């Protein structure tokens, strides 16, 4: 993506303090998690913590990407099925 003028820095944070350090100097944040449908309270807490730390650091934009696993999607009414 660098050829389009976009550069990304990947930081895998496993604690609030490592996330705090990773956000230093950031202007935009793309938060990506996996398997959103089986999110635990820890994952939700990390997303909320990321938003709070982004605010602390003056981040101008934060986007959360939480993919959904298709094999876990189900609806009894196929007309309302989102797949």
pLDDT at 5: 83
Which residue bears the tokens 């094999």? 71
Q: How many CA atoms lie within 13 A of 68 on its CB side?
A: 6
Give the DSSP letter of residue 77. S
Per-residue confidence at 56, pLDDT binned at 50, 70, 90? very high
Query: Which residue ranges make up each domain of the chain?
Result: 23-70
Per-residue confidence at 13, pLDDT binned at 50, 70, 90? confident
SS (H, E, C) 4-72: HCCCCCCCCCCCHHHHHHHCCCCCEEEEECCCHHHCCHHHHHHHHHHHHHHHHCCCCEEEEECCCCHHH
Instruction: Kindly report, residue by residue over 20-44, the tens digit of the pLDDT.
Output: 999 999 999 998 876 655 555 567 7
């Amino acid at each position: 993506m660098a050829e389009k003028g976009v550069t990304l820095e990947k930081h895998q944070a496993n604690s609030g303090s490592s996330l705090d350090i990773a956000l230093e100097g950031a202007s935009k944040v793309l938060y990506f998690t996996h398997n959103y449908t089986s999110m635990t309270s820890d994952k939700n807490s990390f997303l909320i913590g990321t938003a709070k730390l982004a605010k602390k650091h003056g981040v101008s934009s934060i986007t959360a990407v939480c993919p959904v696993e298709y094999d876990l999607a189900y609806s009894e009414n196929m007309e309302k099925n989102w797949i």
